[in-house]
Chain A
Amino acid sequence: MSTSTVGHAVDERTYAAYSRPLWWRVVMTREFAMIVLLGVVYLWATGNVASFDGPLALYYLFLDIAPILMIALPMTLIIITGEIDLSVASTMGLSSVLVGIFHADLGLSIPAAAVCALAIGTACGALNGVLVGYVGLPSLAVTIGSLALFRGIAGGLLGTEAITDYPEQWTDLAKERLFGPVEGGYSGGWLGPVTEPASYPLVLVPIVVLAVVFGVLLHATSFGRGIYEIGLNEQAAKFSGVDVARTKLLLFAIAGAVSAFAGVYYTLRFGSARGDNAEFLELQVIAAVLLGGVSIFGGRGALPGVLAGVLLIGIVSSALRLEDVSSNVINIVIGVLLVLSVISTSLLAWISGLRVARTKSDHPTKGNQR
């Protein structure tokens, strides 16, 4: 065998691009399983839960999970690099407080206040990013610290007071429906509210935009490939010219910005800025991301799965609430889902391990044996 053709465009052998048919690559993924499960649960809920198919159901559902949806996006990228950010909810609370203060005390307009809050939120994220990316500290420890730090500042700034007066137009905007208000009592066929535009809150627009941006960033750019490589093998990523530190800094900064944005939304939706706003949201976000099939060790996972994960948690809790199930049982259900999901991942990994072994025997590619 001679490789004397190196450099010539003549290819001695040709390769199939994929070892599996398209349907296999689509269907045999954890994301797909998540989405199917989501669909099943949704249909079950619309069928069996009284007033779940009312036009209000999805509207409130989305309003509730909006912050989780937003923050889950950057969190997914961070976890795929093998890091984690526990400080997002604190950043969110801080930005909520800041919006209040900038608006009420400094008399800034809401947009101006929001921009300032966003800037500071980004700075908070950047702080994490520098400590993790450049100083090389473990993100778990760092963000446990900044979780307390940012929350402490938020509490310290406002103390007992809650800033509650915001212009109507802005607070309404946070709850605005797409295409005008809902006609009372509407309820369509089994697809029900899905055909009812007014059952979607306006906040879905920025979320969808963000989701698309993050999806493209992660799955269809060089930067995104880098994210996966860092998660799979940081050293090798460095060797191929990926700027690991910078990537991490960027991701944490983005997480800060998005959290801050979520904070602004939160403030306007509830019309109240308090030091303890959105406390403990971080665990819900992380739970949703992991449920969506992202590996805590990094390198594995995809955005569609995560979105499905968030929606699943949202639908389950909203449906169970409508059934007057107590919040405690809902938490148990979510916990069980989470544990099952990771166990299923290791099961899937094990199975696919078998599959790889099989494919090897399918294609006897003689390695070193001659």
Chain B
Amino acid sequence: MTDLLVRPTSESARQRLVKGALRSREIAVFVILVALIAVATVRSPNFLVGSDGWRDLLVTPSILLLLAIGQTVVIITRNVDLSVGSTVGLTAYLVGRLFVDQPGIPIVVVALIGMLFGAALGLVNGVLVAFGRVPALVVTLGTMYIYRGVFLEWAGSDRINAGDMPSGFLRLGTEQFLTIPVLTLVALVMLVIVGYCLRSLRWGRELYAIGSDPAAARLYGLPVTRRVLGAFVICGALAGLAGVFYAARYGTVSSGAGRNLELEAVAAAVIGGVAIFGGSGTVWGAAIGAFLLVTIDRVLPILGIPDFWQRAVVGGLIIGAVALDRVLSLRRERQLRQARDDARSGS
């Protein structure tokens, strides 16, 4: 009567790996990305080859990369953070202010302050969501308005110009280490750290469990409130770092800084295979999604598609991605059903 049970897979570890790879969303998106870059390079060689091209290819996505990582951590817990764009703007301005008001303040300190500040903003969201038991979408929509308003009110009309920030800091925006831009390196380090935590640390797995079934997580005795809070803090901290990046890369911080990045971050995660209702998806996927989104924006003009159509393409891509997910999961369900049948007829 054990035939009610699912038989163990007869696959070897390698077979499993290969199969997994073929099925994995990360790989699929990555392939698209590579293809895109290839086409663009054929069309105009220095898109990839020119040292500028190479650098920009890597450095331009770094800001969205950070945001996508943070957004993923939050989405995995079945929440969302719409305030990251405003957080970027606010932190970027704070960074500029620091340099203006505290001349000679070490860059590392500024970066840390930026992250801490972002984390604090994230904490506000987290407290409201985890303790206030109010939906994240609404809360972060509200804080999105609030943070940006505070930013613009505080900044008033004096914006930060390249001249206001030490050249050492600005050089960060372009400096390269083994041809890899520093900002990209930092972002990738963050990616690896978060990716590692989500995969290999208990609290990381607990985030997945919480998003997978919050009720069960509570019944199981997981520290749901604390974990959700933590997720928002991480998201905020990464957004804060993104703000630092913004100041370093663009050299000026004006009213528009970081506007509308929030939806892009969510889109990147979704394209990267992160389920909007939590429980599944990886930061790796989200990262590739971010690279893809940014690269598309840069490639389409090269392919002769005017600026204006870019968003249309991106939108189509997002819809395609979620639709694909749905199709695949339906396929899997059917296979599982079949498996149950086979198990039964096996007796």
Contacts and interface: CB of A to CB of B under 8 A. Distances in A.
Contact of A152 (B133, B270, B311): B311
Interface string B130-162: 001111011101111110111111000000000
A263 B137 CA distance: 26
A331 B149 contact: yes
Interface stretch (A31-39, A44-52, A138-146, A226-234): A138-146
Given A131-B323, A137-B323, A345 B149 contact: no
Nearest to A338: B142
Nearest to B317: A145
Nearest to B313: A152
A296 B143 contact: no
Contacts of B138: 290, 296, 338-339, 342
B319 A146 contact: yes
A141 B153 contact: no
B177 interface: no
A284 to B, nearest CB: 10
Nearest to B82: A283
A326 B152 CA distance: 10
B314 A148 contact: yes
A152 B322 contact: no
Interface string A336-363: 1111001101100000000000000000
A156 interface: yes
Contacts of B316: 145, 149
Interface in A150-176: 150-153, 155-156, 158-159
B113 interface: no
Do most interface residues of chain A lie in helix, strand or loop, or is the interface mixed?
helix
A290 B141 CA distance: 10
B263 interface: yes
Given A328-B152, A328-B153, A343-B132, A152 B310 contact: yes
A22 interface: no
Nearest to A86: B263
A160 B115 CA distance: 39
Given A335-B149, A345-B134, A138 B318 contact: no
Given A141-B318, A144-B318, A147-B315, A326 B144 contact: no
Interface in B107-145: 128, 132-135, 137-139, 141-145
A335 B146 contact: yes
Nearest to B136: A296
Contacts of B308: 152, 155-156, 158-159, 275
Interface residues of A, number: 49
A329 B80 CA distance: 25
Nearest to B125: A339
A328 B312 CA distance: 30
B315 A150 contact: yes
Interface residues of B, number: 45
B130 to A, nearest CB: 12
A136 interface: yes
Given A296-B135, A328-B149, A339 B319 contact: no
Contacts of A155: 307-309, 311-312
Among B80, B137, B319, B323, max chain A CB count under 10 A is at B319
A142 B151 CA distance: 31
Contacts of A287: 141-142, 145
Contact of B312 (A84, A138, A156): A156
Among A136, A152, A286, A346, max chain B CB count under 10 A is at A152
Contacts of A290: 138, 141
A165 to B, nearest CB: 22
A330 B152 CA distance: 11
A352 to B, nearest CB: 14
B266 interface: yes
A84 B277 CA distance: 14
A332 interface: yes
Contacts of B148: 328, 331
A297 interface: yes
A334 interface: yes
Contacts of A10: none
Among B266, B270, B308, max chain A CB count under 10 A is at B308
A356 B266 CA distance: 39
B270 A144 contact: yes
Contacts of B260: 280
B276 interface: yes
Contact of A297 (B135, B145, B277, B313): B135
Nearest to A334: B145
Contacts of A150: 315
A287 B143 CA distance: 12
B311 A141 contact: no
B153 A332 contact: yes
Contacts of B132: 342-343, 346
A332 B150 contact: yes
Contact of A153 (B137, B270, B312): B312
9 contacts: A141-B322, A142-B322, A144-B267, A283-B144, A328-B149, A332-B153, A335-B141, A339-B139, A343-B128
Q: What 10 pairs between A and B have smallest CB-CB spacing?
A: A152-B312, A149-B315, A335-B145, A148-B315, A152-B311, A145-B318, A332-B149, A335-B146, A338-B142, A145-B319
Interface of A: 84, 86, 131, 135-138, 140-142, 144-153, 155-156, 158-159, 275, 280, 283, 286-287, 290, 295-297, 326, 328-332, 334-339, 342-343, 345-346
Given A295-B135, A339-B128, 12 more contacts: A137-B323, A140-B80, A144-B266, A145-B315, A148-B318, A152-B310, A156-B309, A335-B145, A335-B146, A335-B149, A338-B142, A342-B142
Interface of B: 80, 128, 132-135, 137-139, 141-146, 148-153, 260, 263, 266-267, 270, 276-277, 306-319, 322-323, 326
